[in-house]
Structure 1
């Protein structure tokens, strides 16, 4: 493996680690107003 391959591997692994932290360990959902992953219920309706 060359230096460029190691660079791309490190970049991909860092991106995967960030995604895992952001969506799993921080307990945030995919929507901006939610603080958990439950997006099946509409939060705006009374």
Structure 2
């Protein structure tokens, strides 16, 4: 999601990404809090 042009709150659609190891979201104007579902990604090692 790095420099993807999305903004606002992180969309709930990304909750379905179960094989994410690293999530980069820099240079994207996201707002709000980090959603709880991101803590449920079993393979996430870096955010």
TM-score, with structure 1 as normaliser: 0.20
Tell me: higher relative CO, structure 1 or 2? Use CA pairs within 8 A at least 6 residues apart: 2
**Structure richer in helix, relative to its length:** 1
Larger Rg: 1
